[in-house]
Each structure stands twice: as structure tokens, then as C-alpha cells.
A and B are shown apart, each in its own frame.
Chain A
């Protein structure tokens, strides 16, 4: 047996491309089987007529795509984009300073990082439910505000866009903090000293050195927040009530209650295309910004 193993290894050693393929195979198979194949199935569904009892019937139609351009759905789409962008911006504004402090955190660094990822120990669903207890009319926030005498009537926080935004930002903030932290952590401190000797005050030093050099982290963070935010449905479902639908809710609904798989597939593809387009625009703009590379 050992002989066979040795010969196999020797064979691999002589063929780097075979080596690469054997390393790619397990993960590649997984992605192919569970990502590419379903996507192709969905693409096919999205251009087939809807069956009476769910499912599809043979044929070709663009009806589902056409249907999406109804003001009702465009409204949801617009809301989804606005909220996702807003969520990304808030996460960036709140996450960057946190990442900065952690990267300069000295001996507290590991503890702070641990605290950032600690929420992942519980499921997102549980944490979102917990937010209901915080924000509902008889929840903790209203209770305290009333006890402190700041308000007489409970504020209606839950089932508002505000509640959805709080939930989204809370859920995605770590995905902004971690990549920015990683790029700030790598930053060579002697570059900051060089900037200082060359006459840069702290503000200029940040704008001209720290920020441009942490841009890879900012870009990664923004993508990691923006894309999942676009597809999120749990937060808007639980914290937003029925009035605050996002595109994710629409898709989920089509695949479950409405049993309209072709339309759900079409909606998914439209969102995917828009995500792709907006990411490409974003990357292009970033590359053209001086110092933003």
C-alpha cells in the first residue's frame, strides 16, 4: 500500500496542474453541486410558465420579468436599495472607529476582537427576537424611558423602518469591523511617523495615509455588508412587520406562501443582476478615486 501511495504522490509531484486540480476538487464539487446547479435550475424556472399547483409547466415566457416592473415591486426594490446603502454607510461610520481602536488596542486587542465576534455564538434569529423584547411597546427601552420620566406614552419603535435599520446595522456591523481591522492592523506604523515628520498633523495624516491604506478593508467591509443586506429578509420580517417589506421578503414569499416559483426566481435574478452591476460601479469608482487604491 505504502508503495502505491508513494507512487501516487510522485506522480502528483511531477504534474503541478494535477496537484492543483486535486486540491480544488472537494470545494469545487461542493460549490458546483449546491450553488451552480440550483442557480441554473432557477434560471430555467424563471422563464417558464407557472403551473397551477406551484411548480412550472413546459414553455418559454418573459412574463415574470415583465411583472416585476410593476410600481408595487419597484417600490420594494427601491426601499431595499436605500436601506442597504444606508445600512452600509452607518456600519462604515460606526465600524471604522471601532476597528481603528482595536487595531491600536495593544493588550486589549484580543479581548475586543473576541467581543466583536461574540454575538455569532447565538443564532441571528434568536438575537433578532431579542431585539423585539427591547423595542416593543412594553419592552426594555420604553420601560426605562418611562421610568426616567422622559416620555409619558411608549414610543412605537417596533415595526418601523427605524427598527429594521437598527436590526440590520446590528447584524452586519461585525462584517464591517473585521476587514477594516485587518487592513489597519497591517499598517506599518513607521509610515505614520514618516507622515508626521513630513509635516502632517493628525487629521492630514489620517486622510493621506491611514485612510487610503485601509481602503481594501473598507471596500471588503462595504461589500460584506451591502450584499447580504440587499438579500436579508429575517430582520425586516420580524422587526418591520408587513409594511416594511424588502426584496428578500418578496422572494421568500413567492417560494413559500405564494407558491410562485417562477416569479420568485425572476425576482432573484433581477436582484442578482443589480448587485453585480452596483458592485462593478462601486469598484470602478473606487479605482478612479486618487489615492483610493
Chain B
């Protein structure tokens, strides 16, 4: 029986109902997703959420449980295949460069293992170094100990890319380098992904990094995929409270659904206040709902000047925080809850915000900006 031949738009990676248990701990719990050819796919979540185990299942360092589902690479079930039998490359968190081998020998290691003709190796090593913007004549003969963190990072990347893999796994590769270099590498990685057509599977706990680079993100929590979607979908339509909180900042409100009029449902908050939400499949009369609103979707008004048609809650301004590009206004509500509102900074020296700490204020937002959340 021949293995199914993958054609170009079939997924390169398929997880179907995959589980992995370590002793008593479910590290990965019945997760399913596909990764498409050439896409930049990120797994994002806090530590212990199962993202690294998922990557290791994909690399072949871990095997799914018995009856723990199937991992497919290019259509073929690889549950029992060792890493060296898979067409993958990987960049490790601590780079894992061989300390006893020169940069050149580190990069040629994989080519030698794969019996690449001798004449071809030197050429490909040079090309890989150039690709990650290290001058071959300067770096080939150096030992890893003679490189800076950023240079090691690039060598590790070259060592993985030189194999021209179908899939490149990256395990928090930018965690150990400084912010400025990290931003630069993020854009470079994204460019390489598009240029080479290699599928990137990227693990990170840094939401900004994931939003910057990814075509799609799988947000993971408690060994499951909490939400899978494009950065815009994840940010603008978080499915659960966890996603809303983990990616960006969110304000949360709860209440019981009351009446519907004019295409909007009225939701009554426990303290008696009301707000309106738009139609949604899980909104029915009498139901308890939880919503999130992004800080930049909210505005601060004088208590008597709230625009009509907007949801509003009253409170006291507790603090105004200067962040450069934006200002965060923190408002304390009567129930002692706090709401954060992001306001564009139009220059505090020429056009300062008209409120100060201690002022009474109204926080207002549109019903369309309410994200109705499912349970975590």
C-alpha cells in the first residue's frame, strides 16, 4: 500500500485527537489542528500550556499516548518515527550549537548525515550563512563560544535552513536575545518564511511576537487549543476569557440577558447597570453572559456627555498612565472593579487630556465592540 501522495494544498501537518501524558500529567489533551504548506504557524500560551510538548510530538522527541491520536507529516502517520526519520528541522531555545565544532561544521552536520555530496556541502553552507546575514569568510571558522547571542541564533537558523526542510520548528528561538535584535529577527524570520516557502511552526509565550509574525496562531491553555485563527481573529474575536486576557488587554463585564430591541440585546449587570450587545448565537433571553471589551474600543467622557447608543458605566479616574504612543486611563467602578481605557496620545504638552486623577467619568463603548465569551 503506497503512502498517499501529498499534493500542494493538503496540510503538511495534521494533529488528530492527539494526547500525551507524563505520569499523572496530561501535557497535551486531545488536540486537533492542521498546518498548511508554507504558512507561519505559531503556538502561543503560558508556560505549562502544552505548546512545547506539541512541538516535541511534531519533532519526534515524544510519542503520543497509546490510543493518543495521530500525528501526520505530509500525509503520513509518524507517531512512531524518530526525529532523524522525519523531514523536519528545528531551532532550539538555547540554540544547541555543537560547542566542539566550528560554525561551518555545525551547519554542515545535517548535510553530512544526509549523505550530501562533498562538493555541494561547502557551497550550501556558504549560502545558508549568507541567508542569515553572516559573512561566510568571517564566521565559517569560528567556534560557537566566540559568537554573540544574536550570532549563535543566526548560526542555529542557518544549520536548520541549510537542509531545505519542508517544515521548520522553532522553539522560542528569540527568547534569549535583546529586544531590539529580537524585533529585527522577527521580521527576518517572517521574510525567510515567505521567501523560502518553508512551513514555520513557532512556539512562543510572547503574544506580541506571535501577532507580528504569524499567519495563524493556536492559543493554548491547559493542554488544549483554546482558539485557532489569524492574528486579527484572535485579537478582535477572542473566543474565551483566557484568550481575551492572554493576548492584549481586556475589560470584562458580566450580566443576565434581558430584552431584545432594535437588533440589540440588553444585558443587566449584577449591580443594576445595563449594557447592550449585538445578536450572537449564544445570547438568548435569561442567559448569563460574559463579555470582553478592548481598552482601545473604549472612551472616557464627562458623565453627562455620553454619546447616545453607546454603553456606559460610571466611575472615578484612579490613574492616568503615560505610555508614549497611548495613554492608559484606569477607572474604578462602584463595585471596585477596574476598567482600563487606552487613549491615543495627541501630545500632553500641547493637547493634554481633559481629566485628572480623582475626576468622576463615564466609560463608554459601542455594543459592536462587546466580545461574547464562551467558558474557558
Contacts and interface: CB of A to CB of B under 8 A. Distances in A.
A234 B194 CA distance: 72
A193 B97 CA distance: 11
Interface string B72-96: 0000000000111000111011101
Contact of A190 (B60, B96, B110, B159): B96
A201 interface: yes
B321 to A, nearest CB: 40
A196 B98 contact: no
A198 B109 contact: yes
Interface residues of A, number: 19
Given A197-B88, A199-B84, A191 B110 contact: no
B280 interface: no
Interface string A186-204: 0010110111111111001
A209 B82 CA distance: 18
B244 to A, nearest CB: 34
Given A190-B92, A194-B92, A200 B84 contact: yes
Interface in B88-142: 88-90, 92-94, 96-101, 109-110, 113-114
A195 B109 CA distance: 8
Interface string A204-219: 1000110011000000
Contacts, number: 59
A204 B61 contact: no
B191 to A, nearest CB: 23
Interface in B32-75: 59-61
Nearest to B162: A198
B115 to A, nearest CB: 9
Contact of B96 (A193, A200, A291): A193
Find the residue from B61, B83, B97, B163 having the highest chain A CB count within 10 A.
B83
Contact of B84 (A190, A196, A208, A293): A196
A214 to B, nearest CB: 10
Contacts of A188: 94, 96
A293 B113 contact: no
A224 to B, nearest CB: 22
A219 to B, nearest CB: 14
A199 B113 CA distance: 6
Given A190-B94, A204-B113, A208-B109, A197 B100 contact: no
Nearest to A204: B113
Contacts of A200: 84, 109, 113
A197 B88 CA distance: 7
Contact of B159 (A191, A198, A201): A198
A198 B92 contact: no
Nearest to A200: B113
Contacts of B59: 193, 197
B114 to A, nearest CB: 5
A201 B98 CA distance: 16
Contacts of A204: 113
A212 B101 CA distance: 10
Contacts of B99: 191, 213
A56 to B, nearest CB: 52
B100 A291 contact: yes
Nearest to B88: A197
Contacts of B93: 190
A104 B127 CA distance: 38
Contacts of A193: 59, 61, 83, 90, 92, 96
Contacts of A197: 59-60, 83-84, 88-90
A208 B106 CA distance: 11
Find the residue from B59, B61, B100 having the highest chain A CB count within 10 A.
B100
A200 B90 CA distance: 14
Nearest to A196: B83
A288 to B, nearest CB: 15
B101 to A, nearest CB: 7
Contact of A198 (B82, B94, B110): B110
Nearest to A292: B100
Given A198-B113, A198-B159, A191 B96 contact: yes
A293 B114 contact: no
A207 to B, nearest CB: 11
A194 B90 contact: yes
Nearest to B82: A196
Given A193-B83, A194-B90, A291-B101, A199 B96 contact: no
Contacts of B94: 188, 190
B114 A199 contact: yes
A199 B110 contact: yes
A177 to B, nearest CB: 22
10 tightest A-B CB contacts, nearest first: A199-B113, A198-B110, A194-B96, A190-B96, A196-B83, A197-B90, A197-B83, A199-B84, A212-B100, A199-B114
12 contacts: A188-B94, A190-B96, A191-B96, A193-B61, A193-B90, A193-B92, A194-B92, A195-B109, A198-B84, A198-B109, A209-B98, A291-B101
Interface of B: 59-61, 82-84, 88-90, 92-94, 96-101, 109-110, 113-114, 159, 163
Given A193-B61, A197-B89, 15 more contacts: A193-B59, A194-B96, A194-B98, A196-B60, A196-B61, A197-B84, A197-B88, A198-B84, A198-B89, A198-B159, A200-B84, A200-B113, A213-B99, A291-B100, A291-B101
